[in-house]
Amino acid sequence: MIQFDQVHKTFTGGVHAVKGVSLQVKRGECCVLLGTSGAGKSTLLRMVNGLTEPTSGTISVAGQVVDRRSMLSIRRQVGTVHQRFNLSPRLSVLDNVLCGALCRVGTVRSLLRLFPLALKRKACELLAQVGLDESQLDRRAADLSGGQQQRVAIARAFMSDPILILADEPVASLDPSTSRRVLDLLRTTCQHHGTTILCTLHQVDLARTFADRIVAMAHGQVIFDGTGESLTDEVEQSIYAAAAKQETKSTSEATADAVMRRPSPLEVTCD
């Protein structure tokens, strides 16, 4: 489904974020990219739908190489879920979901908010699937709780009948029990639609529970690739040992890493 071939990315500041990643994600797989912040997993994800351009190497989605020409058609087939939900806060829940299908509607019709009834029905169906009901249709997105907002965002991502869902830290701004429920929902929805997932996470226990396959990254390189069971404590140690080294380099990132490294007992007890 997705193929990374010797992908490098160097930012203008000289940061070498991704160093020669080669990876293949199979159709229908739920693949989790694990790593600390700064490991390059978000950059890798952003290169799939062309938000960031690789310095060298190629990426292809469903046999199509990602470049300027194919970008639009790839974006239409790929749904995205973001860390900060990225809904329009003052639009209604229904309008936010319909935004996922803007490329299916003519520009003039969409600017006038004249969406076809079929699309509206589909949006309602998706909202029901993610566990929202009729009473929430006309509420403003900003009035919903974080978990509900991410549910709306998931519904929006499925509006374009995607073959692939990219989720960049989808639960990083949610509390542990909501995180589990949202991830569970994301997974079951994908199974229901037969969609592949490529998802970044930084909590090892969540990755173990939800991933068919875990790819761990540190310093822009893949350091582990396998199932949740084969991810031993030693490997886990090595992922975060890399972060500890980084900690001494930059103090600003250190706090974020420290928070992440702490195994949180809450996540187990809350469920």
Partner 1 sequence: MTEPSPTPVASSLRDPATWKLRQPYSAWHVAALLVLMLLLIWSGRRNEVDRTIITTAQGVAYSTGLTEQSELSKGWSSFLGQALPLIFAERTDINRIEGFDAQALPPLAYITKESQRRWDVLSDAWVQEEPVQYLVVPYGYILRVTQLMLQTIEIGAWGTILALLLAAPLGMFGARSFTPNRFFYTAARAACSFSRSMPELILAMFFVLLYGFGPAAGILALGVHSFGFLGKFFADDIENADPGPQEALRCTGANRLQILRFAVLPQVAPQFLAYVQYILERNVRSATVLGIVGAGGIGMELKGRWDLADYGHVSTILLIIFITVLALEHLTQRLRRRLI
Residue from 107, 135, 248, 269 touching partner 1 (CB under 8 A): that is: 107
Q: Does 56 bind partner 1 (CB under 8 A)?
A: no
Determine phi and psi for 223, rounding to 5 degrees: -110, -10
Q: Which positions from 243 to 262 touch partner 1 by CB under 8 A, shown as an x/- string?
A: --------------------
Choosing from 95, 236, 247, 257, the residue that interacts with partner 1 (CB under 8 A) is 95
Residues in Cβ contact with 102 at an 8 Å cutoff, skipping those fewer than 6 apart:
110
Q: Quick check: 100 binds partner 1 (CB under 8 A)?
A: yes
Q: Is 149 in the site for partner 1 (CB under 8 A)?
A: no
Residue type, 36: T
Report the sign of the C-alpha dihedral through residues 38, 43, 44, 46, in that order. Answer: positive
Residues 155-194 touching partner 1, rule: CB under 8 A, are 156, 159-160, 166
Angle value at C-alpha 29, between 192 and 4, nearest 5 degrees = 135
Q: Is 99 in the site for partner 1 (CB under 8 A)?
A: yes
Between CA 207 and CA 213 the distance in angstroms is: 9
Smallest gap from residue 224 Cβ to partner 1 (A): 28
Asked if 90 interacts with partner 1 (CB under 8 A), we say: yes
Nearer to partner 1, 72 or 241 (CB): 72
Distance CA 144, CA 150 (A): 10
Question: Alpha-carbon distance 143 to 130, whole Å?
Answer: 17
Choose among 108, 185, 119, 125: nearest CA to 149.
185
Question: Least separation, in Å, of the C-beta of 228 and partner 1?
Answer: 28
The letter for the amino acid at 14 is G
69 counts as binding partner 1 under rule CB under 8 A: no
Query: Which residues contribute to the site for partner 1 (CB under 8 A)?
Result: 49, 51, 72, 75-76, 78-80, 82, 84-91, 95, 99-103, 107, 110-111, 153, 156, 159-160, 166
